[in-house]
């Protein structure tokens, strides 16, 4: 039951974040096609962040499936992850309204990096709580995505001040890498259920 | 359990979309009846979009009742649907504030069209996941509503630049067509339960 | 299961309405006590609407406890109720910012009246769906609150243009009448469970 | 079932409060590091309030675990708590935008104090509803945190007009005291389950 409430709360927060983000797409004054033009970068950064939050919701969903009991530390690690995700709308809006300028693009990467780190901390705490036979540990054994993403984010932040389009390209790349849903946990869980 | 979380997340997102849409109805300065006059088109477009989102929630509700297990593809098709629905408040506000002008009315239709397409994709993926004996396939066999709506939306978009009131009339018409809740799935499900 | 999703969706919408209402309390510019003074009527109307939404959530909660199955008509009657409740933040903000001026106060009453009517429609549909032995019908047999409230709202609307403080007093009075939770349904349900 | 809906509604409201609070972090005009500088106090007060709401969610979660049945009085005491929590975004925004000036800092403390009092009232009503063998009563027997916090808030409010940094320090201190999750209830519950 406890786990259900953590899931419900996380779902609620992620659902609200993903939805209030669209409020940055402010209704323009004017009724022509041209009034939409300055909104295009805001829209594109909205699409990117929507995909990222979808990925987080998706993976969070899979990861919590593998959890048996929620400790105080897991609760706070989860809130810590939600904290960084809650900054995504701000970073998205700032990046979009400044047409992917260096500093806003770097800040966007920083928020993604911190969310990624928060996700790894949550993962480690769940593994630790499950003891030596952790089902999650087996599932993420070759977690090259989780290890590669922070490196790519860090590279994107560093490059933002010289080649901002490479930065943006890296954000799209990381999203594409993760877009393939995390079938590893699903597979292990399924084989565990069959035994 | 997995399905429950998808339902809960979708409910959350649709509930937030339907509610933040009312924020476009900005509190006017002035305390007379007249200060409400410019808000009338914003209010009417709010009513229309509220009905549309109610229809989507309603049909989504029925469709997911027929789902047994949620695959990664279904999860993403569902997020894709929620993405287009999340743009409804923006399109509603723009159309309302510009008193149903051609371009905003066409954009509104485009968002509805894309949401309709996203709904059909989700439906197809669920049918595919259920195999040859899909309960949903039987239920939507004569899905004339689902096939007619995109045609009417496309006509509405094309007509927006000449006869914007026909466009608006078509949006109302499609809403009325759907307002009758989707009893087909319910009926098939019920007969399935009785066998 | 179906009922659970209707409850969850309604809870979500009411929770969002009650919370975004606080956004009308805009953070003032200035750091003195005096900058809060113009916010006092906005705050007081927020308190009043918070209580009203709490009453609706509470009674909705009790009423749905008595529901066995949700029909399409009940679903739409519920959305109709949520529609009028979604206009409460707008009416609250307009009334508060205009210091309880006649027209905004009357509009506030109109929204409450429509929500009250929508609640009664929902109640009738549930009773009808339950047939002659409706548990809800017994519970609301002497529903003097439900019958008195619309009369008081109508009186408040009519009086708003002459004696606006009586109008406000009537809104407070109706809230106080309802504040006492609806123990009738609870009692009947409990006695039904004991038989 | 009843309890679940109270939990779900509370989770929804707290999730929305925690998320709309980030809307006070307005996207700045300008693309340099310097444009972020005036946002730093707003950000810091956001972090503080995020932690406070996390603590409330966490403790609320534990407290409701100990509840068997929800009375009307408990429902309203819960709404009363949510009311004060709903004012946290306003108080946070006002304090942050005025760089922790005396009056806004005192108001922030007042909202925290009232939320703390509302929490204690809810706790008392639950204990009362459980009768002499209340499991919650045992759990909070030595509730030094709950008794110390209001004293510290009151001190912080009084000191705000002279030493505003001590006020801020006290808010951080109370948050740190509570950050350690309430293991007392968990422990008692667990030992009760083992008997």
Top-ranked range on mean pLDDT: pick from A125-139, C2-16, C71-85, D121-135:
C71-85
Q: Which residues of chain B fall below pLDDT 70?
A: 1, 142, 180-195
The pLDDT, as a whole number, for residue D183 is 60
Contact B54 C79 (CB under 8 A): yes
CA neighbours closer than 13 Å in the CB half-sphere of residue D5 = 24
Q: Please indicate if any CB of chain C lies within 8 Å of the CB of B28.
A: yes
The pLDDT, as a whole number, for residue A167 is 92
CA-nearest residue of chain C to B15? Answer: C13
CA-nearest residue of chain C to B49? Answer: C83
Optimal mutation site among D2, D4, D5, D6, interface C, most CBs of chain C within 10 A: D5
What secondary structure letter does DSSP report for C117? Answer: H
The string of pLDDT tens digits covering residues D68-107 is 788 888 889 999 999 999 999 999 999 999 989 999 999 9
The pLDDT, as a whole number, for residue C185 is 58
The pLDDT, as a whole number, for residue D193 is 55
For residues A110-132, average pLDDT:
90
Contact B72 A183 (CB under 8 A): yes
The pLDDT, as a whole number, for residue D17 is 94
Return the axis-axis angle of helices D40-65 and D183-194, rounded to nearest 10°.
20
Other CB atoms within a 10 A radius of the CB of residue D71 amount to 17
Task: Indicate the pLDDT class of residue A193, thresholds 50, 70 and 90.
Answer: low
Q: Please indicate if any CB of chain D lies within 8 Å of the CB of C129.
A: no
The string of pLDDT tens digits covering residues C117-175 is 999 999 989 888 887 777 777 777 767 788 888 899 999 999 988 888 899 999 999 99
Distance linking the first and last C-alpha atoms of chain C: 25
For residues A73-89, average pLDDT:
94
Q: Which residues of chain D fall below pLDDT 70?
A: 1, 142, 180-195
Helix (H) or strand (E) holding B70, with range, is none
C95 vs A141, which has greater pLDDT?
A: C95
The pLDDT, as a whole number, for residue D50 is 96
The pLDDT, as a whole number, for residue D40 is 92
For residues A108-136, average pLDDT:
89
Percentage of residues in chain A with pLDDT exceeding 70? 91
A29 vs A49, which has greater pLDDT?
A: A49
Cβ atoms of A66 and A189 within 8 Å: the answer is: yes
Q: Enter the tokens of residue B168.
A: 């608006």
Lowest mean pLDDT among A73-82, B163-172, C139-148, C180-189: C180-189
Task: Indicate the pLDDT class of residue A84, thresholds 50, 70 and 90.
Answer: very high
Closest Cα partner for D171 from D184, D159, D188? D159
Cβ atoms of B143 and B177 within 8 Å: the answer is: no
Q: What residues 50-89 of chain B have any CB closer than 8 A to a CB of chain C?
A: 50, 54, 57-58, 61, 65
Percentage of residues in chain C with pLDDT exceeding 70? 91
Neighbours, chain B (3 or more CB pairs < 8 A): A, C
The pLDDT, as a whole number, for residue B154 is 93
For residues A134-159, average pLDDT:
82
Distance of CA B150 to the CA centre of its chain: 12
């Amino acid at each position: 039951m406890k786990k259900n409430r953590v899931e419900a709360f996380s779902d609620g927060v992620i659902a609200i974040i993903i939805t209030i983000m669209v409020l940055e797409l402010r209704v323009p004054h004017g009724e022509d096609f041209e009034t939409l033009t300055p909104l295009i970068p805001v829209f594109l950064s909205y699409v990117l962040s929507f995909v990222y939050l979808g990925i987080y919701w998706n993976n969070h969903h899979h990861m919590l499936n593998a959890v048996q009991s929620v400790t105080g530390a897991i609760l706070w690690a989860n809130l810590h992850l939600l904290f960084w995700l809650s900054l995504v709308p701000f970073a998205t809006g700032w990046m979009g309204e400044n047409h992917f300028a260096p500093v806003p693009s770097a800040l966007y990467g920083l928020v993604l990096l911190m969310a990624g780190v928060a996700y790894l901390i949550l993962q480690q705490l769940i593994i630790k709580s499950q003891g030596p036979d952790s089902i999650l540990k087996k599932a993420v054994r070759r977690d090259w995505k989780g290890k590669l993403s922070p490196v790519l984010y860090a590279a994107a932040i560093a490059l933002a001040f010289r080649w901002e389009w490479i930065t943006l390209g890296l954000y799209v790349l990381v999203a594409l890498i993760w877009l393939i849903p995390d079938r590893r946990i699903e597979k292990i869980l399924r084989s565990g259920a069959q035994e």
